[in-house]
Amino acid sequence: MKESEHFLLNNQVKMPKIGLGVLFAKNNKEVENAVISALESGYRKIDTASAYENEEGVGRAIKNSGVPREAIFLATKVWNTEQGYETTFGAFERSLNRLQTDYVDLYLIHWPVASKYKETYRAMELIYKKGLAKAIGVCNFSANQMQDLMEHSEIVPAVNQVEVHPHHSQLDLLDFADQHGIRLEAWRPIMMGEVLKIPELVEIGNHHAKTPVQVALRWLVQRGVAVIPKSVTPKRIQENIDIFDFELSASEMKIIEGLNQNRNLGENLSHIF
């Protein structure tokens, strides 16, 4: 990937603007083929999690892809039931073993467990200091939770991975992240395909000879938000990364901003794994 296709995190680590998400991808040839297809299409970031139960498949795919490990930005997450100071170290070690790697590029708290996220993050700070994670961060934290965490930690999180898409633009959280040098990363960026039915995105896409999915992803990247669209279909995986050869105008960006409904598609997602 080109330099222009990366964001610089607050610790100067480069992270690709787009990666492959593998939520719900089965821990067999499905996830393996998806990861290999993504790497063949030019992706250099893979986002998984302990709770996805497919780290083994991701690890096998990376090993068999022919792409050097150091060329891949690999992210995983500590799950709710694994949180706590001592238990986080064990969870991290298990993830490394399943992924067949001796480090990850980004380690994240999957959801903010109120009684545990501060001690979990304290363990992650030690993992980071040992060089076992190149960057650390969180997922699904509100601005208040981020503020609370930062008041009790040494290292400002590099990333906050949250639900962001045209119907849930997260403007306040984006402002907070910008003020503190934290990079937002969007899960569900294409609303599980719902963006295909949004007329404004269809019209903008027609103007650029792009799909509504590509428009939604481009909108996020232009806002400074990283994206990890999920797919196991090679054609869609290829289409999703094809967003760096066009630019949305200021008026087009404003039209998409106007689609916001504060609509949370993944409100109860933390309880379904």
CB 83 within 8 A of CB 115: no
| pLDDT tens profile 185-220 | 999 999 999 999 999 999 999 999 999 999 999 999
Residue 82: what pLDDT? 97
Residue 161 belongs to domain spanning: 3-271
What the block records as the tokens of 14 is 């480069």
Q: Where are the beta strands (DSSP E) in 132-234?
A: 136-139, 159-163, 183-187, 226-227
DSSP-derived 3-state class of residue 32? helix
Q: Tell me if residue 52 is catalytic.
A: yes
| pLDDT tens profile 224-260 | 999 999 999 999 999 999 999 999 999 999 999 999 9
| pLDDT tens profile 36-75 | 999 999 999 999 999 999 999 999 999 999 999 999 999 9
Counting Cα atoms < 13 Å in the Cβ hemisphere of 67 gives 23
Residue 270: what pLDDT? 53
CB 259 within 8 A of CB 200: yes
- Could you tell me the pLDDT band of residue 268, with boundaries at 50, 70 and 90? low
- Could you tell me the pLDDT band of residue 267, with boundaries at 50, 70 and 90? low
Mean pLDDT along residues 9-19: 98
The angle subtended at Cα 107 by Cα 39 and Cα 24, nearest 5°, is 55
CATH of the domain at 127: 3.20.20.100
Point out the catalytic residue in the list 52, 117, 121, 128.
52
- Could you tell me the pLDDT band of residue 2, with boundaries at 50, 70 and 90? confident
User: Counting beta carbons within 10 angstroms of the beta carbon of residue 205, is it exposed (0 to 12), middle (13 to 18) or buried (19 or more)?
Assistant: buried
**Distance (Å, whole) CA 131 – CA 112:** 24
Residue 273: what pLDDT? 42
Mean pLDDT along residues 124-151: 98
Specify the number of domains making up the chain: 1
What is the rounded average pLDDT for all residues in the chain?
96
**Distance (Å, whole) CA 126 – CA 139:** 19
